[in-house]
Amino acid sequence: MAKKSIYEAKFLKEFCLTADNMYRLGWDERNGGNISLLLETDEILEYLDADKVIREIPLGFDAKKLAGKYFLVTGTGKYFKNVKNDPENNVGIFRISDDGQMAELLWGYADGGRFTSELPAHLMSHISRLEVDPANRVIMHTHPTNLLAMTYVHSLDTNEFTHTLWQMSTECIVVFPDGVEVLPWMLCGTNEIGVATAEKMKSARTVVWAMHGLYGAGKTLDEAFGLVETVEKASQIYMLTAGLKRVNTITDAQLKVLANAFKVNYRKGIID
């Protein structure tokens, strides 16, 4: 039976639309940022022949824990603004080889390109999040303007950063009750920052890279996008009010009322 056109795949359409919105919102300038989506085997086989490997690309680290899994990932050096109109050159679909050393390309990167240089950080984070919640399928790295600005003027202590964000909007403790983890500035595109991020991903779905951006995880593209969106809105409110006399705030007691009302298991040690 002939395969369906990959351009009909809902996951590809959603992926391209997400990248387009991230660019539109100013989160991913130039080739900044990257997205990786863990795909279900059944949905891939409707569109691609798993036996037709175009080429193999070395991963640069041991991803054996993800062997046999399929991913849709943005390409290195690719501009998010081009993903929607030219996905075949700007994104790729590959399978992790049985030995965990190679990406077996099945579609995309048509101009000879390869996956984002931060793929090791993505895959390490996927491993961490899958151990916490097997339904987590998305890792999203982006450069939201206000969050980035906030890392220049706010303490980088994880609990203090989380507490401030929770106070910025009523929905925050509900949307990210696990808070945010914060890493100091580190060289991007390395396995070292990937290891550090993956360790933080064990306790939160959001990891802030100081003076750089953030990593967000979710079950779906919408969920991960919404998480980033909410963190960025909270950061914007903080930056708009930083330095001004605050005459009102959401108190810790009110945050607890919110958490209880929405039955969320919030991160302990911040408002307790």
Domain hosting 151: range is: 118-272
Convert the pLDDT of each residue in 184-225 to its tens digit.
999 988 889 999 999 999 999 999 999 999 999 999 999 999
Q: Is the pLDDT of residue 1 over 80?
A: no
Do residue 11 and residue 46 come from a single domain?
Answer: yes
Q: Are 95 and 59 in contact (CB under 8 A)?
A: no
Rounded Cα–Cα distance for residues 16 and 245 (Å):
42
Convert the pLDDT of each residue in 48-106 to its tens digit.
999 999 999 999 889 999 999 999 999 999 999 999 999 999 999 999 999 999 999 99
Identify the pLDDT of residue 60. 86
Identify the pLDDT of residue 131. 96
Q: Which of 51, 83, 116 is the last residue of a domain?
A: 116
Average pLDDT over residues 37-41: 95
Do residue 228 and residue 136 come from a single domain?
Answer: yes
Identify the pLDDT of residue 272. 85
Confidence of residue 2 (pLDDT cuts 50, 70, 90): low
Identify the pLDDT of residue 208. 98
Q: Is the pLDDT of residue 162 over 60?
A: yes
- The CATH number of whichever domain residue 30 belongs to comes to 3.40.225.10
Set 29, 43, 46, 118: catalytic member: 118
* Strand (E) or helix (H) holding 235: helix 221-241
Do residue 134 and residue 57 come from a single domain?
Answer: no
Do residue 167 and residue 224 come from a single domain?
Answer: yes
Rounded Cα–Cα distance for residues 189 and 119 (Å):
8
pTM of the model: 0.94
Convert the pLDDT of each residue in 236-268 to its tens digit.
999 999 989 999 999 999 999 999 999 999 999
Convert the pLDDT of each residue in 115-138 to its tens digit.
998 899 999 999 999 999 999 999
Average pLDDT over residues 136-142: 97
Do residue 99 and residue 175 come from a single domain?
Answer: no
Count of domains forming the chain: 2
Is 223 annotated as catalytic?
A: no
**Taking all residues of the chain, what is their mean pLDDT, rounded to a whole number?**
95
Token pair of 235, please? 């950061």
| Cα end-to-end distance, the chain, whole Å | 60
